[in-house]
Structure formats: structure tokens, C-alpha cells
Amino acid sequence: MKYPETWGEPEGVAETIFISQRKVTYRIEIQAWKNLLMHGKKDIPMQKHAFTLVKIRWYDPDGKALFAKPLWLIVMGKRRTEFSLLDIYQSYLQRYDLEHFFGFGKQKLLLDKFQTPNDKHEENWWRLVALAYLQLLAAKDLVSQLPRPWERYLPSVLNKLITPAAAQRDMSRIIRQIGTPSPVDPPSGCRFHTRCPIAQPMCSESQPELRELRPGHFAACFSQTHNLLAVFPNPPFKGQ
Ligand code: SF4
């Protein structure tokens, strides 16, 4: 790769653009060489696994390369030819979102703190953390910015950008407002009426009876015949 004269003509070329927050348009050139092999070792037989080599370069509006070195990626696997060059580029960009999740999950959501010898339990924990992260994203329109004094002039605060960290700071207020049914002192009527999006006045007065909506599928809800099915048209329940 040090010697461009040895690369040969790329077998695939694509272009796209990126418009920055400052409205600068960058041209992105993607080139690919397919079915390449590299030297392997006894315990890493890379010579047996063909790959697609992808080179990505960014150019500023004057046509100058933005970075001194191009970005090189390799795509491996039997299905590598199913991806277009733009798919590969977009997939690579997603790594920044994934990395944010892992960084934030470890620092703020205890992603790596649950220790168990049971890998199933560990996977369940990761799912819980992913759900907690999703809730922070979903709550972004409900939370308020609560910056520390030294954070008041950060661009994210000035632009009222609600990051997952900002959402987490105000999340306890949201949870207090929603409330949680206490098993010791449950709310009157349907236990879910304080947080149910389709609650009716009667829901706070009397307890709905448990009924079989369809074989093997029970529900206790005053709205079971229409509203509940409208909210969950394809409930993931057994026996539906
Ligand atoms: S609509 Fe159903 S789930 Fe919601 S509060 Fe009323 S009875 Fe409970």
C-alpha cells in the first residue's frame, strides 16, 4: 500500500458528499479493489480469505485532500459483494454512534459492571442497558437542560442539544412524574392508570377483570377490545 503505482485501477468507484454543520460541502471519493488476498500466518490463514479493499478520501471545496492519509477499510465475508461502496461507507460512519453507546454505557449505565459467570445473564444485562439508553433518547423532548455552572457556555448547552448525558441528568424528575405502582400501596383501580397512555376515567375507579382475549392470551384492561389492540396491533404474545 505504500506504493500507489502497484495498486492498479480500482474495480469500483463511488462518490458522495458531506455537508458539515458550518455548511461546508466535502466531496468523498470511494474506491475499491475486490477479491484481494494478503499474506497469512500459520495460526492466522489470511491467504484463504479474500476481501474487498476500500479507500476513502475526503476533499474540501477547493479539491484538496482534507487529510494527509486516506482511510483504508477491508470488507470480509462471503456476502461482502452484496454491499455497495456507499453502504460500506455509511456502515463505517455508524461506528461513531456505536462507540458513543459503548463509552456512555460503561461510564454512565454500568454496562460493564454486572459480573456473572452466566453469559445468558450478561446478555440480558446488556439488553437492559441498551433499553435504558433507548429511553434516554426517547425522553429527549421531555427533559430540560440542567448544566453545571461550568458547562453553561458549552455549544451543546447553548444550542439546546439534549444528549443522552443531559437526558440522564433530568431523568429522575421524569420517572417521579410518571410514577411507579408500588406493590405495598398500589394505585386505585387499574394499577397502570397513572402511566397508561390510553387510561379512561373509569380506570382509576375500578379494577378491570382478567379476560381471555384470544386463546392463551389474557388481559385485564377496560380498553382490551379496541384500544389495546390499536396500540399493540401485533402483540408478541404466544398464542396470538
Ligand atoms: S386502559 Fe387498560 S391498562 Fe390502561 S389504565 Fe385503563 S384498564 Fe389499565
Q: What pTM does this model have?
A: 0.55
Q: How confident is the model at residue 11 (pLDDT cuts 50, 70, 90)?
A: very high
Give yes or no for residue 222 CB within 6 A of ligand 1: yes
* Distance in angstroms (rounded) separating the CA atoms of residues 6 and 108: 48
Question: Rounded CA gap, 172 and 182, in Å?
Answer: 17
Q: What is the Å distance from ligand 1's center to 65 Cα?
A: 60
DSSP line for 21-69: TT--EEEEEEEEEEEE-----SSS-GGG--EEEEEEEEE-TTS-BSSSS
Report d(CA 131, CA 111) in Å as an integer: 11
Asked if the model's pLDDT at residue 230 lies above 50, the reply is: no
Same domain, 31 and 65: yes
Cβ distance 222 to 208 under 8 Å? yes
Per-residue confidence at 221, pLDDT binned at 50, 70, 90? confident
Average pLDDT across the chain, whole number: 87
What is the rounded average pLDDT of the residues 10-20? Answer: 94
The arithmetic mean of pLDDT across residues 174-190, rounded, is 80
Are residues 197 and 238 located together in one domain of the fold?
yes
Taking residues 26-42, report their average pLDDT: 93
Closest Cα to residue 125, out of 117, 78, 54? 117
Mean pLDDT over 7-16 rounds to 92
Q: How far is the CA of 14 from the centre of ligand 1 (A)?
A: 53
Average pLDDT over residues 116-139: 93
Report the number of distinct structural domains present in the chain.
Answer: 3
Pocket test for ligand 1, best of 191, 194, 196 (most atoms within 8 A of CB): 196
Tell whether 213 and 154 lie within a shared domain.
no
Is residue 110 predicted with pLDDT exceeding 80?
A: yes
Pick the atom of ligand 1 nearest to 193's CA. 5
**Ligand 1 neighbourhood includes 223 CB (under 6 angstroms):** yes
Residues 209, 123: Cα–Cα separation, whole Å: 36
In a domain, 216, yes or no: yes
CA of 135 to the centre of ligand 1 (A): 22
pLDDT at 240: 32
- Give residue 223's domain range: 191-240
- Rounded to the nearest angstrom, the distance between the alpha carbon of 201 and the centre of ligand 1 is 10
* Cα-based angle 141, 90, 80 (whole degrees, multiple of 5): 140
Between 96 and 48, the more confident residue is 48
75 Cβ inside 6 Å of ligand 1: no
131 and 79 in a common domain: no
Q: Is the pLDDT of residue 61 over 60?
A: yes
Query: pLDDT-derived band of residue 188, with 50, 70 and 90 as boundaries?
Result: confident
Phi/psi of residue 65, each to 5°? -60, 135
CA of residue 19 to ligand 1 center, whole Å: 47
pLDDT score, position 181 = 67
In a domain, 92, yes or no: no
Q: How far apart are CA 29 and CA 109, in angstroms?
A: 38
Domain boundary at 83, 103, 138, which?
Answer: 83
Residue 239 has a pLDDT of: 34
Q: Is residue 95 part of a domain?
A: no
SS3 of residue 75 by DSSP: strand
Average pLDDT for 11-40 = 93
Q: Is 196 in the pocket of ligand 1 (CB under 6 A)?
A: yes
Q: Inform me whether the pLDDT recorded for 84 exceeds 60.
A: yes
Cell triple for 30: 470511494
Q: Are 52 and 80 in contact (CB under 8 A)?
A: yes
pLDDT at residue 229, rounded to an integer: 53
Domain boundary among 34, 56, 83: 83
Q: Are 173 and 125 part of one and the same domain?
A: yes
Query: 184 lies in a domain?
Result: no
Strand, helix or coil for residue 234: coil
User: Which atom number of ligand 1 is nearest to the Cα of residue 191?
Assistant: 8
Pairwise CA distance, residues 73 & 55, whole Å: 6
pLDDT at residue 224 is higher than 90: no
Instruction: Give yes or no: residues 142 and 210 share one domain.
Output: no
Has residue 122 got a pLDDT over 90?
Answer: yes
Question: Mean pLDDT throughout 163-185?
Answer: 84
